[in-house]
Amino acid sequence: MEQKKEYTDHYELVLENWRRKSREWDWKARFEELGFAGWQAQGKLPIWYYGVRYEWNPEDGRFCEAENPGKKLSFGTEMNLYNLIVKEGGTPVLSGKWVPLREVKRAYPFAPAFQNGTLTPFAQFFDGKAELLRKAGERLGFRPISDSDVGFEAMAFPCLPIRFLFWDGDEEFPAQTNILFDANITEFVHEETVVMLGSDGVSRLKEMAERITEEKEA
């Protein structure tokens, strides 16, 4: 129990540090670079993330879900929101070329862990459940694509699409998955954040699938 408390406290300390630093950033300039609407000199600033509206409060540097402000955000969600804003380097531009993580600039070292920690569990969770995955993606507002048995293009942010691909297993081969990113994604966020964006998208698909299953069983 003590170890879990220390683990939780560590992540909370990290978030508190980012909340403090975020109050010093030039949010107006970053909104302009990303082409985001909603900038205002006073009040909370909106950012859409995986189809959900979040708001940043300049008074305490915290993010909240606009429709459910009391909901505790996951560490990954909150960090991904901060990391989009803190990235520097001018106005980013999409390439239109889709690549797996191993081909994303400077992200190759993270590819093995991403396979083991995100892609393989993604495939195992939905193995034999292609229709459930399809329903989960549709419920989340992800756009269906035809590059695999079940596939979606999701707007991680309004400026940044990500593709989730799933091939169901059969008697000979297990289920397979992949997540594709725009080749210029590291112009928008750091390479470590690319990993977190993919993982968070999979988490949302799993959570929605579990909700759909619970509704069906109720």
H or E segment and range at residue 5: helix 2-22
Residues 125-173: pLDDT tens digits?
999 999 999 999 999 999 999 989 999 999 999 999 999 999 998 888 8
How far is C-alpha 45 from the chain's CA centre? 19
> Average per-residue pLDDT in the chain?
93
Q: Which of 155, 141, 165 is nearest to 188 (CA)?
A: 155
CB 156 within 8 A of CB 197: yes
Q: How many helices (H) and strands (E) does the chain have?
A: 7, 8
Report CA 36 to chain centroid distance, whole Å: 17
Q: Which band of pLDDT confidence, cut at 50, 70 and 90, is reported for residue 8?
A: low
Kindly tell me if the per-residue pLDDT of 208 is higher than 90. Answer: yes
Q: Which are the contacts of 70, defined by CB distance < 8 A and separation ≥ 6? A: 64
Average pLDDT of span 70-99: 93
DSSP annotation of 117: I
- Report the C-alpha gap between 1 and 16 in whole angstroms: 22
In the prediction, which pLDDT does 1 show?
45
Rounded to two decimals, what is the model's pTM?
A: 0.92
Q: In the structure encoding, which two tokens stand for residue 128, read together?
A: 């034999």
13-24 per-position pLDDT tens digit? 999 999 999 999
Q: What's the pLDDT score for residue 42?
A: 84
